[in-house]
Structure 1
Amino acid sequence: MKIAVDAMGGDNAPQAIVEGVMLAKKDFPEIEFLLYGKETEIKKYVTDEKNITIIHTDEKISSDDEPVKAIRRKKEASMVLAAQAVKKGEADAIFSAGNTGALLAAGLFIVGRIKNIERPGLMSTMPVIGQPDGGFDMMDLGANAENKPEHLVQYAVLGTFYAEKVRDIKQPRVGLLNNGTEETKGSELTKKAFELLSEEPSINFIGNVEARDLLSGVADVVVTDGFTGNAVLKSIEGTALSMMSLLKTSILDEGLKGKLGALLLKDALRGMKNELDYSKHGGAVLFGLKAPVIKTHGSTGPDAVRHTIRQIHTMLETKVVSQLVEHYENQE
């Protein structure tokens, strides 16, 4: 297994990225890592050179670069070189914490989409309250601003593949995100998607699901258009951060009594924080491409990088992408 890493992508690069790779090496000594970026900066954080290759480049894509232009003009950028390595077969997967739009563009234009998949989607595994090891896979989370009903059916098939192969869920329940559970609810997009999903034999479609029920585990796979999915993702993130901030403020406002209470509840509060942390499931997958392309949060730390590499290892080990390629390219 070889993973191409954009070592210069993200707010805390290259330190957080390389330190995360060092952590992952202990779990997966068989993985070879190709680190793309400024060699002198990367070497500061490399503590074990075994199975590490550094490919030097001074160029990188920043967070404020226009995605498509950056991919086309910055040919020597760390992200572009990492994507090229996957295209050439020099690496099996790519991951980056850098510019999301640029990584999506690199995935589409360099790695390439699987034949018969119109719109690859961005998918992430989100937490389920009360199930520390549980979660649900949701897509599209923003790769596409607009979608057709047929795209949502493809997302359901893609999500089912991932849930079965990577997360080992038998017959995962697929839900369509809507503003009500009734079949007649929703926009023209969701009504038509509901009809097509109901007729798709390769998935276990359970009907419409509402946003308020997502974290309770109402479905294993949730499909929606990219605009809605991105809004829901940011709402979940914002709510989790606000809850933790509110708890902290409430404790501090109570003075000594509040601090003593917090001390007694320390383990429970830590458990709550961990339960809401979806980075433990890895990064967001641009699913529907010819190889794993994984995006981690820009402010990611070493531990989140480690989780992402574990996720990529599982994807490569289960051959989920190659099975998708075979499934779709054999279609008429």
Structure 2
Amino acid sequence: MKTIAVDGMGGDNAPEAIVKGIEMARDDFPDLQFQLYGDEGQLTKLLKNSERITIVPTTEVVTGEDEPTRAVRRKKDSSLVRAALAAKSGEADAFYSAGNTGAVLTAGVLLVGRIKGIERPGLITVFPTVHEDQQFLMLDVGANAESKPSYLHQFALMGQFYAHDVLGLDHPRVGLLNNGTEADKGDSLHKAVHDLLEKDPDINFVGNVEATNLFNAPADVVVTDGFTGNATLKTMEGTASTLMHLLKANLMDNGLRPKLGALLAKPALKKLATMFDADRAGGAVLIGVNAPVVKSHGNSDENAVYYVQKQLRAMLNHGTVQSVIQYFSTHTEETVAAAKEE
């Protein structure tokens, strides 16, 4: 039985959406149990069935307006901090929150703790592709605004473990996000990273990939620095949302024929919407810390909360974090030290 520590007060729709999503996950996954941190009165009223769900009372909440590091250090009885500490102590096996992104990342690094040998944890997000039932992941998408070549080298290694365990890929392909596919493209950072990835026999490196081609799945793991990754993530999400909005508006606001066409195309449009439903991919994973840590977007509904628990379950059942710990405990000298010399 695995235990997930949940920040019951984090997110725009908390605590109602959090409780509903956790109960959905509890009902579908009999091998999971949950510690729900937050306001005892609110959580108790919302909880319909307490089977395998324990409410842990807290007196503080980290809000979206809080400065992340200050909040983590000062709001010690907040639902976010207490849930993270449970993952640190081993009382829980994983930590989940839909709350303040900076605070979740700070708690992951400072409280749950960075894995020995990992220079910087990275943030993973999973995306759909034009190929049905095929996905790719990208990291870092925002944990580190500035990066060194050795950081991205480690991101590639950690991304491979996640792609193998959660996406079910035996030999995931790793690509470096760059401004061209040629090996000599990019600035000094990207050229150095390209050399590191190309020389590492433990990485199935397929070369540089461009942002224009990401949805065609040129790689299973796309490695980038946090600044570029975050900008790319937001551009992709914004473009997809805008296109869906424009498509719907043009079908519904241009007379009878487009409306009839939309009715006939409804199954295809629904399938397309499902493919690009970000909630189904789960939340953003902070990889490189001593327990699974996942952050979902602030306006997560119960379905988004549910899919994060499914995602965490896959990580826990496959021992993804333990695989990273084991790898870097045996390869620290030859991978990290060598990367720093580049």
TM over 0.5: yes
Q: Which residue of structure 1 lines up, in the alignment, with residue 38 of structure 2?
A: 37
Q: Compute the displacement of 1:135 (Å).
A: 0.6
Is the 8 Å Cα contact of residues 5 and 33 (structure 1) preserved in structure 2? yes
Residue 340 of structure 2 corresponds to: none
Q: Which runs of 5+ in 2 are unaligned?
A: 334-342
Aligned equivalent of 1:14: 15
Aligned mates of 1:306, 1:288 — CA distance in 2: 23
**Which residue of structure 2 lines up, in the alignment, with residue 208 of structure 1?**
208
Which residue of structure 2 aligns with residue 318 of structure 1? 318
Runs of 4+ in 1 over 3 A off after TM superposition: none
* Structure 2 counterpart of 1:189: 189
Number of positions where the alignment pairs a residue of Structure 1 with one of Structure 2: 331
Q: Kindly indicate whether residue 262 of structure 2 is the aligned counterpart of residue 257 of structure 1.
A: no
Are residues 1:269 and 2:275 paired?
A: no
Equivalent pair of 1:114/1:329 in contact (CA under 8 Å): no
User: 2:135, 2:167 within 8 Å by CA — same for their partners in 1?
Assistant: no
What's the offset of the Cα at 1:282? 1.1
Matched, 1:161 2:161: yes
User: 2:131: which partner in 1?
Assistant: 130
Conserved in 2, the CA contact under 8 Å of 1:287 and 1:293? yes
Residue by residue over 1:176-195, the C-alpha shift from the partner in whole angstroms, topping out at 9 and shown as x without a partner, is 00000011111111011001
Letter of the aligned partner of 2:184 in structure 1? T
- Counterpart-to-counterpart distance in 2, 1:207 and 1:291: 30
Measured in 2, the distance between the counterparts of 1:42 and 1:254 equals 47
Aligned counterpart, 1:106 = 107
| Shift in Å, 1:256 | 2.7
Kindly state the Cα deviation for residue 260 of structure 1 after the two structures are TM-superposed.
1.9
Counterpart Cα distance in 2 of 1:136 and 1:60 = 34
Contact 2:144 2:226 survives alignment (8 Å)? yes
Amino acid at match of 1:205: F
Note the C-alpha offset of 1:102.
0.3
Q: In the TM superposition, what is the alpha-carbon distance from 1:261 to its structure 2 partner?
A: 1.8
For 2:42 and 2:281, the matched residues in 1 are separated by 28
Aligned-residue RMSD, C-alpha: 1.0
SS of the counterpart of 2:46?
coil
Partners of 2:268 and 2:145 in 1: CA distance: 39
Aligned equivalent of 2:338? none
Instruction: Output the CA distance in 1 between the equivalents of 2:325 and 2:195.
Output: 26
CA contact (8 A) 1:171 1:203 kept: no
Q: Corresponding residue for 1:239?
A: 239
Residue type matched to 1:214 in 2? Answer: L
Instruction: Determine if contact 1:129/1:276 at 8 Å carries over to the other structure.
Output: no
| Corresponding residue number in structure 2 for 1:96 | 97
* Paired letter, 1:30: D
Contact 2:84 2:111 in 1 (8 A): yes
Task: Deviation per CA, 1:266-286: give whole Å up to 9, x if none.
Answer: 111111111112321211100
Tell me how far 1:164 sits from its aligned partner.
Answer: 1.2
Query: Which sections of structure 1, spanning at least 5 residues, go unmatched?
Result: none
- 3-state DSSP of counterpart to 1:23: helix
Q: CA deviation at 1:27?
A: 1.2
Equivalent residue letter for 1:215:
F
Counterpart Cα distance in 2 of 1:204 and 1:95:
31
Output the CA distance in 2 between the equivalents of 1:236 and 1:185.
22
Matching residue of 1:116 = 117
Give the deviation of 1:130 after TM superposition. 2.9
CA–CA distance in structure 1, aligned partners of residues 232 and 70 of structure 2: 28
Moved more, 23-32 or 223-232: 23-32
CA drift at 1:43: 2.2
Structure 2 length normalisation: TM-score?
Answer: 0.95
SS at match of 1:290: coil
Matches of 1:171 and 1:228 in 2, distance apart?
Answer: 26
Q: Counterparts of 2:166 and 2:259 in 1: how far apart (Å)?
A: 42
The whole-number CA distance in structure 2 between the counterparts of 1:55 and 1:206 is 47
AA at the equivalent of 1:118: E
Question: 2:3 is matched with which residue?
Answer: 2
Q: TM-score, normalised by structure 1?
A: 0.98
d(CA) in 2 for partners of 1:139, 1:214: 13
Q: Give a deviation string over 1:102-160, Cα, whole Å, max 9, x none.
A: 000000100000001000000011111232x2111110000000000111110000001
Aligned partners of 1:298, 1:49: CA distance in 2, in Å? Answer: 25
**Percent of aligned pairs sharing the same letter:** 52
CA–CA distance in 2 between the matches of 1:49 and 1:221?
39
Cα displacement string for residues 197-251 of structure 1 (whole angstroms, at most 9, x for unaligned residues): 1011111000000001111111000000000000000001001110111011102
Q: Partner amino acid for 1:65?
A: D
